A and B are shown apart, each in its own frame.
Chain A
Amino acid sequence: MQQPHDEHPHVPGPSLWPIGFAIGVVVLLVGLIISPWWIGGLGAIVALGFAFLWVRDLTRGTELTHAPEVAPESAAARPAAAHEAGSPPERYPRAKFLELSTLGLGGVIGGLVTVPALGFMVLPPFLKQGFKDIDVGPLSEFPEGKFVIVTFASDPAEASVSRKTAFVRYNGPQNGQPSFTIISNHCAHLGCPVQPNGPLDQAHASEYKGSAIIPTVSIAGFGCPCHGGQYDTEGNRTAGPPVRALDRYSFSIRNGNLFIGKPFSVSRVDGTGATATIHKWTFAYPGEHVSGLESWLYPIQPPH
């Protein structure tokens, strides 16, 4: 039987709705990067409205064609014919069994080969991760109120490729305990290394157990060389594309030495120094919002 739609190219009629849809998508995308926030919502509404009109246009006039139904007698007639020929009806034909068992066995063998291989590819980056506490030297290395740049190997087994840099500032004692501000140098935009905005005291640079320790003279904040993100001395974003404040490291003090521990993400810091309020979140990769509406896009963090 000749299908009627084989005669014509499958081209929908002319329609202006896609233009409105495209404008809506553009407004939505622009709205995502500029404020006020409702521009994005407006774009979404426009896009959805025109998409609805477009789809309605496309589907109008298209009749759903149904496959011709199998004539009921042809299925029923065959076993009856077999009966007349004298052979018993096949309840489960051999060809069907062979076909299914070949497919089934092939699937099982394929699965046995590919599943472990895929697991080997995908799982290791998510297993046995974590952060070691790194000894970065005696407390006397860290003068009060000044940032010291500490570059350490976060995994001594991996050596230099695992190097990380932190800006460490001793804030003086707080409630009888030493207080430290330890800011990660990974820009919260896309992970480039932020630099201190101010002179370094290279003359007093030192080394401790493979960690390079460089004091600063006085710095006004941090800046990123890649895309111009700027931060104040607490790591709050002051300008540029970063989506949150700079990450920080937890710390511990053992036998008079400072140990740098797990990193965590920070949405913002109120106040300064030892009395600051740090809005702390689970460690997230750069570029991810950790608070507010946009953080809903990142509900689960992989095991870091």
Chain B
Amino acid sequence: MAPRSQTPKQQLQAAITYPLDWLEERSGIVGGVKYFLFRKVPGDVNWFQTLGAATLTAFLVQALTGVILAMYYKPTTGDAYNSIQHITNDIWAGWLVRGMHRWGASVFIILMFMHMGRVFLFGAYKYPRELNWIIGVLLLAMGLGEGFTGYLLPWDQTAYWATVVGININGTAPFLGPFLSQFLQGGTYINDTTLSRFYSIHMLMIPGAIFALIGLHLYLVVRLGVTSPPWSKEAAGTGSTEPPSSTDGRSGLVSPTPRRSAD
């Protein structure tokens, strides 16, 4: 309890910190969030290193707008096209939310590739971050899967024929390709089942996998730290006066331990 002698500013501070302290004492979540957000990064990080966070933002926009679109969209061959028209033309701000989802999809894919290019050109995929590159590649595949399955949902001519071509490209994979085709179509041709199957994959299966993989991706980013740009003056592991402990991988060095035999 704040004593009466406190100034209004102190009272305000107490009003803010009291619930946070209450939460921290019972869950440790404030410390966890601080640990996640206020990490050490190299002094010469670059704007290109924000592309990963931008990609995450784009995905969250897709997830949010997608959930709202699902409240109006009807995944049946009879209703799909009309429900999209209804969303776009009749419902308040429907054009906006659908537009965000439709164009945001391209933004998400483009940002993923730019993020991937940054990681490649900075050499940030090298030891000890190989696993994060692999998880990133899985995320890229999942993102492209979202693009493929989402494209069918408007159920117009472009959607239908693009999906015919896409499924048949999958079908030309050796050995199991024809089975993959038939699985994706839910039969021997594109029908009602295909649409609801793609809808389920698009809004439940792949997003769940993406959320899980993003969790792993961020865990490894927090654990391993951010890389310096390749032009960094601080050469890996040589500027330090004291030998780093094993947790100093987080301090942003390309190489987690100094090469003691150098010089």
The distance in angstroms between the C-alpha atoms of A158 and B191, with both chains bound, is 8
The answer to whether A288 touches B171, judged by C-beta atoms less than 8 angstroms apart, is yes
The answer to whether B189 touches A299, judged by C-beta atoms less than 8 angstroms apart, is no
- Quick one: CB contact mask for B153-188 with A, threshold 8 Å, 1 for yes? 000000001001101110110110111011101111
- Quick one: CB contact mask for A114-134 with B, threshold 8 Å, 1 for yes? 000000001011100100000
Shortest distance in angstroms between B211's beta carbon and chain A's nearest beta carbon? 20
A226 within 8 A of B: yes
Across the two chains, which residue of chain B brings its CB closest to A130? B188
Chain A residues 245-286 with CB under 8 Å of chain B are: 284-286
The distance in angstroms between the C-alpha atoms of A284 and B174, with both chains bound, is 13
- Quick one: CB contact mask for A90-129 with B, threshold 8 Å, 1 for yes? 0000000000000000000000000000000010111001
The answer to whether A10 touches B169, judged by C-beta atoms less than 8 angstroms apart, is no
The answer to whether B187 touches A125, judged by C-beta atoms less than 8 angstroms apart, is yes
B252 within 8 A of A: no
Shortest distance in angstroms between A195's beta carbon and chain B's nearest beta carbon? 13
Contacts of B118 in A (CB 8 A): none
Contacts of B255 in A (CB 8 A): 9
The answer to whether A192 touches B165, judged by C-beta atoms less than 8 angstroms apart, is yes
The answer to whether A161 touches B187, judged by C-beta atoms less than 8 angstroms apart, is no
Chain B residues 117-153 with CB under 8 Å of chain A are: 126-128
Shortest distance in angstroms between A11's beta carbon and chain B's nearest beta carbon? 6
| Contact for A299 among B126, B175, B188, CB less than 8 A | B175
B100 within 8 A of A: no
| Contact for A161 among B77, B164, B188, B256, CB less than 8 A | B77
B49 within 8 A of A: no
B190 within 8 A of A: yes
A84 within 8 A of B: no
Interface size class of B (residues with CB under 8 A): 20 to 34
B257 within 8 A of A: yes
The answer to whether A285 touches B190, judged by C-beta atoms less than 8 angstroms apart, is no
Across the two chains, which residue of chain A brings its CB closest to B128? A9
- A288-B190 in contact given A161-B77, A226-B161, A298-B177 (Cβ < 8 Å): no
A228 within 8 A of B: no
Across the two chains, which residue of chain B brings its CB closest to A263? B188
B79 within 8 A of A: no
The answer to whether B192 touches A285, judged by C-beta atoms less than 8 angstroms apart, is no
The answer to whether B168 touches A298, judged by C-beta atoms less than 8 angstroms apart, is no
The answer to whether A297 touches B174, judged by C-beta atoms less than 8 angstroms apart, is yes
The answer to whether A7 touches B192, judged by C-beta atoms less than 8 angstroms apart, is no
The distance in angstroms between the C-alpha atoms of A304 and B188, with both chains bound, is 6
The distance in angstroms between the C-alpha atoms of A126 and B176, with both chains bound, is 13
A89 within 8 A of B: no
The answer to whether A9 touches B256, judged by C-beta atoms less than 8 angstroms apart, is yes
- A161-B126 in contact given A226-B165, A298-B178 (Cβ < 8 Å): no
The answer to whether A285 touches B161, judged by C-beta atoms less than 8 angstroms apart, is no
The answer to whether A288 touches B175, judged by C-beta atoms less than 8 angstroms apart, is no
The answer to whether A190 touches B191, judged by C-beta atoms less than 8 angstroms apart, is no
The answer to whether B175 touches A298, judged by C-beta atoms less than 8 angstroms apart, is yes
A2 within 8 A of B: no
A158-B192, A192-B165, A287-B172 known; 7 new pairs, CB 8 Å cut-off, are A9-B128, A9-B257, A122-B183, A164-B189, A287-B168, A287-B169, A288-B171
Nearest 6 pairs of A and B residues by beta carbon: A287-B172, A297-B174, A285-B171, A190-B168, A191-B168, A190-B165
**Sample of 25 A–B contacts (CB below 8 Å):** A9-B256, A10-B127, A11-B126, A122-B183, A125-B186, A129-B182, A129-B188, A162-B191, A190-B168, A192-B161, A192-B164, A193-B161, A226-B161, A285-B168, A285-B171, A285-B177, A285-B178, A285-B181, A286-B168, A286-B171, A287-B169, A288-B172, A298-B178, A300-B175, A304-B182
